[in-house]
Structure 1
Amino acid sequence: MEKYERIMEIGRGSYGVVWKAMNKQTGEVVAIKKLLEEYHAAEECMNLIEVKSLIKMANHPNIVKLKEVKRENNVARMKSFSETEIRNVCFQIFQGLAHMHKKDYFHRDLKPGNLLVSKNTVKIGDLGMAHKTNGKKPYTQNVTTLWYRAPEVFLRSSFYNFSVDMWAAGAIMAELLTNQPLFQGSSSEADVMHKIYRVLSTPTKSPWFSGLDLAENICYRFPDYPGVRFSELLPNASFDAVNLIATLNGHNA
């Protein structure tokens, strides 16, 4: 840590704090994540899922590079984008996710704060909640920031898959187009579910049979809403953009 000068804090969560920092010798700007939990041996650190997943997915242009068990990237905050810029940002997100999923991992905490942007390059960061798609089940439900959490996770599914990353990507894409989170609610899971179904409408057996089973298992009653067309929510977006977001944030078959 001595060779890095901290510039600013850019993220804080249950597991660690992330700073924008600069290598004093080279001038290289990096992101440093300090884990809050203490580890007493190097082997413990190297066995962390975040470290192992980043090693396996090394050198992809849209996933952060692991360096000295620290994350490397120039960091900038997201701002307003044109649709052309958004198309480029989302293409890079999808490229990173495709590589991650091909390597049998899924992120499980995709959100704007975990996307590092610099010089028109987007990298997916913070793989602290990443999990192998063929890993031990059941999966935990305490994943993904509420506004980007897929309904099946809210409904306590123990066997969700990489589709939860695609749901979050759709929500991020909509947010880039409107500068406002698509499913912004309070800190309550129930409130965020209301925001989701205010848009999607009350689910029926035809599009999402498994979701109704999940709800029945936990005695959850979906809120009664007629739904809103994505084209109404995104009036300035192109047909292709609206169609993609509707596909990503629709119900799983």
Structure 2
Amino acid sequence: MKPLLVHLTINPNLYNKNPQKTDLGKRIIEQSVLLIDEIGLEQFTFRKLAEVIGSTEASIYRYFENKHQLFVYLLNWYWEWMIIRIDLNTLNIKSPVERLTVALSVIVDTAQRNTTIHFVDEEVLHRIVVTEGAKGYHHKLVDEENQEGFFLPYKNLCSRIADLITEINPKFPYPRALASTLVETANNNLYFARHLPRLTDLDGQDEQLPKEVKTMLEFFTFGLLHSSRITNMATIKNMVQRSEN
């Protein structure tokens, strides 16, 4: 199978100079992923990155204003890659149920790397997103960065999933909330299984963990979509009121 010709367009507000356009920029991206995976975001610095790539801190600052923007750049890369994979893997599938099942598989497992982009290991990047991802938007400046479009790929990813949910059940009242919950739940339970096992029912030592997470997501998703066909909000309110009396 020939590698897929893929070009990811990342928000230019995230960089001073497009790292995809130069060999040094590509090394910065490649080694950032590997170094953050190795030592964690808190310990990651431009000084350490400069040592790894055999360059200077100043050269890295020519591409990125600070490590936070570099990190959000990597998150954007991941989200854009998820969108491409969902689109490619559902292209010739008519059933919305099957397309949603494929989408759930994509957000759990990123082992497939059949692309012409060799300087980013998406599987390692996925580990970073699972471990560190929420730090990209859980901070005081999130509203300002949102105005700059920093999180648009994440919104687009969740919109893809929400559209499939609505296609399956047009009357489901919370498609966007469910979509974002599924993405976060996938990452959280991968993390919990490996580090905080009492917060999940999955086995972090099991090689089948991604498959187990996908099965769990399917259980949640299709259980909710099926139950909402026979249960409306008025019924739920009546059930709550009866339980309170």
For Structure 1 versus Structure 2, the TM-score category normalised by the shorter chain is: under 0.3
Q: Which has the higher helix share?
A: 2
Q: Which has the higher strand share?
A: 1
- With normalisation by structure 1, the TM-score equals 0.27
Task: State which structure, 1 or 2, has the greater radius of gyration over its C-alpha atoms.
Answer: 2
- With normalisation by structure 2, the TM-score equals 0.28
Q: Which has the higher contact order (CA 8 A, sep 6+)?
A: 2
